[in-house]
Structure 1
Amino acid sequence: MSTPAPDTTRIHNIGYRSYDGPRLGRSYARRSLFSQSLRGAYGLGRSAKSKVLPMLLLAVMCAPALIVVAIAVYTESGKLAMEYTQYAVYLQLVIAVFLASQAPQSVSRDLRFRTVPLYFSRPIERMDYVLAKYGAMASALFILTATPLLIMWIGSMLAKMDFAEQTRMFGQGLVSVAVLSVLFSGIGLVMAALTPRRGFGVAAVIAVLVISYGAVSTLQGISYATDNTGSIVWLGLFSPLTLVIGLQNAFLGAPASFPAEMEVGAGVGTVYLLVVLGLVAACYGILMARYRKVGL
């Protein structure tokens, strides 16, 4: 008969105790989520591979501004070759690619790996999550679109252009890209949040931004060719980018970018503004509804 093994059971006191430090609350959690999401949009705090595309797109976005500045300084021109309010319109594809790549990164991974309920288990609510993600994406887009405008303004000062005029136009450009950033970010996040698949989110964002602009521009061209010019400004209501173009033409004194150089008056511009506000509110509402479902 074998001898039973000796009892080696031990009870260890590993010092579990309740947390009695500071509790920073919802505002701190919201700021932390905003900061983390904003940094993540440029790959900061992530792998080197994650930094390549956003940093490359930022460089591509700034390259034309550097060229414009170099030409202005070299030729001692009294005017920049490109308007501040038109810069984002010319570089729209770069903006669309940035948003299509980073909006799914911001929200799709949380949905795919089902980590959203973990956020809500902390002192953070659904509204805090949506506001932090929305604000971070809009801020990332604003950095992307405002940085080249800042380069152009600094270049205009180096070329000894009129300070007051350049500062006024620079301010108009900042207002324009701020509106674009808020509107595009809402649309991009909604498209990305509707599916946990990043590839589907990328395709949806590109389709909504690029295809809608192409379709509206085509219809506007057809209206101009058939002498139906009265419909050109109203067709601009059906694309996010043409909405921004119409707003800056109506209220910021930007040159008309529609066919036949159609001007958007204050009355039609007010309609544009209401549509933009409605779209931003709708995007926020859709995100809130989406995260009401996945947060349970």
Structure 2
Amino acid sequence: MSSQAPDTTPTPDANRTPDATRIHNIGYRSYDGPRLGRAYARRSLFSQSLRGAYGLGRSAKSKVLPMLLFAVMCAPALIIVAISVYTKADKLFVEYTQYAVLLQLVVAVFLASQAPQSVSRDLRFRTVPLYFSRPIERVDYVLAKFGAMASALFVLTATPLLIMWIGSMLAKMDFAEQAKMFGQGLVSVAVLSVLFAGLGLVMAALTPRRGFGVAAVIAVLVISYGAVTTLQGISYATENTDAIVWLGLFSPLTLVIGLQNAFLGAPASFPAEMQVSAGVGAVYLLVILGLVAACYGILMARYRKVGL
């Protein structure tokens, strides 16, 4: 029985000498410019998200729906102004605080289409950890997205009020009265914008699928309002009028309606023109603040998980 000697033929790796290793300079240079930090990153993300809500900086197709909704939101205000100027009316035909309530469907569709666009794509393509690498942190991301969506809604809802106020001046209406009502309307839509933005972003952030986010936002805003108003109508028909005001706590839009009725002098939109007292209005305010805080907390918890 013979044994075969091992093959001692040197391999290419064995022949490699230390001198065979080369480091090639391919032109990369270290960054020696200014370090703008978290504040700049947060502002940039806010600006990018706000512009993106109206399709700016995106494809032409992405601009169609938000710009169309913006035009639809402003068109009734222009008509109201034209009629008021032509007829020389001494007051506008629609209260400033009622305008967003009457066009609630437009606001809901805008939020349902743009909230998922703001957060769902980052979740779907798993780019959120890239934001958190540095210098931006989780709180910066949430505040930038929250603020951008609230600002986009405020632009959508406040621009028609500005058109109406300018029209009232052209119609030579009382300046002090119109300025006061215009200010009340701005406060109302500011509260609506913050509340709706929080709810919309939470619904959109729960799923990376945009379609599910759209359906969830529509369900929370539109279906809840329809259910509450139906129950309020039943309460009025059965002469249980005390329940009408308290039922308003269970819908985002009726929360805003009750708050502005209690503190801004807005006309009552509830059945039987039920007025919300200051005490009950304080409850409405606490619920709104609680919902906004809860939305912020849920978003922070959500991005703690996906940011890992």
Unaligned stretches of 5+ residues in structure 1: none
Say how many residue pairs are matched.
295
Cα drift, residue 4 of structure 1:
17
Residue 242, structure 1, aligned to residue 227, structure 2: no
Q: Distance in 2 between matches of 1:100 and 1:266?
A: 32
Query: How far off its partner does 1:122 sit?
Result: 2.0
Paired residue for 2:191, among 179, 189, 199?
179
TM superposition shift of 1:222: 0.2
Determine what percentage of the aligned residue pairs are the same residue.
Answer: 90
Alpha carbon RMSD of aligned pairs, Å? 2.5
- Consecutive unaligned residues in structure 2, runs of 5 or more: 1-7, 13-18
Within a 5 Å distance, the mapping from 1:5-154 to structure 2 comes to 12-154=24-166
Q: Deviations over 1:229-264 (max 9, x none)?
A: 000000000000000000000000000000000000
1:143-171 deviation per Cα after TM superposition (whole angstroms, max 9, x unaligned): 00000000000000000000000000000
Shift of 1:19: 1.4
Instruction: After TM superposition, give the deviation of residue 16 of structure 1 in Å.
Output: 2.6
CA deviations over 1:81-131 (Å, ceiling 9, x no partner)? 100000000000000000000000000000000000000012010000000
Instruction: Give 4+ residue runs of structure 1 displaced > 6 Å after superposition.
Output: 2-11
Superimposed CA distance per residue, residues 60-98 of structure 1 (whole angstroms, 9 cap, x where no aligned partner)? 000000000000000000010100000000000000000
Distance 1:126 1:13 in 2: 37
Q: Following the alignment from structure 2 to structure 1, what is the Cα–Cα distance between the partners of residues 127 and 27?
A: 30
Deviation at residue 8 of structure 1 after TM alignment: 13
C-alpha separation between the residues in 2 aligned to 1:178 and 1:187?
14
> Among 1, 4, 12, which residue is 2:10 paired with?
4
Partner deviation per Cα, 1:25-64 (whole Å, 9 max, x = no partner): 0000000000000000000000000000000000000000
How many Å separate the matches in 1 of 2:138 and 2:22? 45
Give the Cα separation in 1 of the matches to 2:11 and 2:307. 51
Q: CA deviation at 1:10?
A: 8.2
C-alpha distance in structure 2 between counterparts of 1:216 and 1:174, whole Å: 25
Displacement after TM superposition at 1:18 (Å):
1.9
How far apart, CA to CA, are the structure 1 residues paired with 2:211 and 2:122? 15
Provide the residue aligned with 1:213 in structure 2.
Answer: 225
TM-score, normalised via structure 2 length: 0.93
Quote the Cα distance in structure 2 between the aligned partners of 1:180 and 1:11: 60
For residue 17 of structure 1, report the CA deviation from its aligned partner.
2.7
SS, match of residue 20 in structure 2? coil
Paired with 1:100 and 1:274, the residues of 2 have a C-alpha distance of 25
Counterpart CA distance in 1 for 2:297 and 2:22 is 56
Residues of 1 paired with 2:184 and 2:149: CA distance?
Answer: 21
The whole-number CA distance in structure 2 between the counterparts of 1:290 and 1:128 is: 14
Q: 1:242, 1:180 → 2: CA distance?
A: 10
User: What is the rounded CA distance, in whole Å, between the counterparts of 2:25 and 2:136 in structure 1?
Assistant: 33
